[in-house]
Amino acid sequence: MRDDKNGAAPAFGGLAIDFSGDTGATTAVATATGGPSTATTGAGRVETKLVVVGSGPAGLTAAIYAARSNLEPIVLAGSAPGGQLMLTSDVENFPGFADGIQGPDLMAAMRVQAERFGSQLIDVDIERVDFSSRPFRIWARGTEYRAQSVIVATGASALWLGLDSETRLRGRGVSACATCDGFFFRDREIAVVGGGDTAFEEATYLTRFATKVHLLHRRDTFRASKIMVDRAIKHPKIEIHPNLAVEEILGDAKVEGVRLRDVKTGAESRLPVDGVFIAIGYEPNTAAFRDWLEVDEKGYLVVHDETGSKVDGVFIAGDVHDHRYRQAVTAAADGCKAAIDAERWLESQGIAEAATATAW
């Protein structure tokens, strides 16, 4: 693992961005009935042409494009503004940063860029929506927002074990993304936690870098397909440890090992490793939309024709539908596409000016 991955916790670096507060907070229920962009509560607009829900790479990229196209987006940024990249340190695969960039710095820069063109960001989780007619209605912390179109970019949250030590060592050897962070573990010994397809896929992928991959699972049966389990059993670099629960991730400034408990005997043991990948799944953040939009068997939103949904005027971007690529650059690209699709749709409805289509 590279030293800088073991260094200071993710910080906003040189960018003085406040992710903790609202940039245009509204506290009263809006009563406006006028057209887009007319209603405010005094603290910020509550009605507009486009609301973006979520402020990860998908949501902020959508906001940048929409703001530059005069859609005056309101971004309901969520209680985790910046999204999943706020949970990591080095990002080395986002184009344009030859030396890499810290995840929180990248998201801070995207936020500044979105605000620069007039996006209004409010760090609230939305609770429910009504997509039955336009303007679409969205409720968050006691305020009703209204929009002629909506981009849903609420992502999918990686599931964690819930250990204090895991939170403390995130970005310092604890990760939930092998594609993103495997490279940092060249010639190291690591552990993968989980028993489903994701865990087996990640373990197999990580053998490209690691000298040894320990797959830790709390049961002696696996949800993963038999073919994946068989492949892992035969792999010379993978060792499968059934019936072991991770009690603690060991290490002060960086991961040094895991403390394990045998769920059958209660016996405790320690396994020295340099990294721990938690691969127990993702939870797509779709609760507020389930009554209105289609979800697949895993709970992810279903897109039609690139970024469309079954509701005209509601678009979808990023990991909230994409469980195949799950990368910042693909989420950002999706946000761009959703904003262009929303702008063209608004134009077709006579809401956005035709000329703005050239503003990209």
Residues noted as catalytic:
177, 180-181
**Shortest reach from residue 267's CB to ligand FAD, in Å:** 31
Asked if 328 touches ligand FAD (CB under 6 A), the answer is yes
The encoded tokens of residue 321 equal 């539908």
Q: In 33-142, which ranges are E strands?
A: 47-53, 74-76, 90-91, 101-102, 120-122, 128-130, 136-140
Q: Of 212, 209, 183, 206, which is closest to residue 271 (Cα–Cα)?
A: 212
For ligand FAD, the binding residues in 63-82 under the rule CB under 6 A are: 76-81
Asked if 326 touches ligand FAD (CB under 6 A), the answer is yes
Asked if 338 touches ligand FAD (CB under 6 A), the answer is no
Per-residue string for binding with ligand FAD, 109-138, x by CB under 6 A? ----------------xx------------
Nearest residue (CB) to ligand FAD, 213 versus 331: 331
**Number of residues forming the site for ligand FAD (CB under 6 A):** 42
Residue 296 neighbours by CB distance under 10 Å: 11
Asked if 83 touches ligand FAD (CB under 6 A), the answer is yes
Query: How many angstroms separate the Cα of 260 from the Cα of each of 50, 169, 237, 245, 252?
Result: 49, 17, 20, 6, 17
Nearest residue (CB) to ligand FAD, 84 versus 229: 84
C-alpha span between 174 and 9 (Å, rounded): 12
Q: Which stretch of DSSP H or E encloses residue 33?
A: none
The C-alpha angle with vertex 135 and arms to 331 and 53, in degrees rounded to 5, equals: 25
Nearest residue (CB) to ligand FAD, 232 versus 320: 320
Q: Which residues bind ligand FAD (CB under 6 A)?
A: 53-59, 76-81, 83-85, 87-88, 91, 93-94, 125-126, 153-155, 158, 175-177, 180-181, 285, 288, 318-320, 326-329, 331
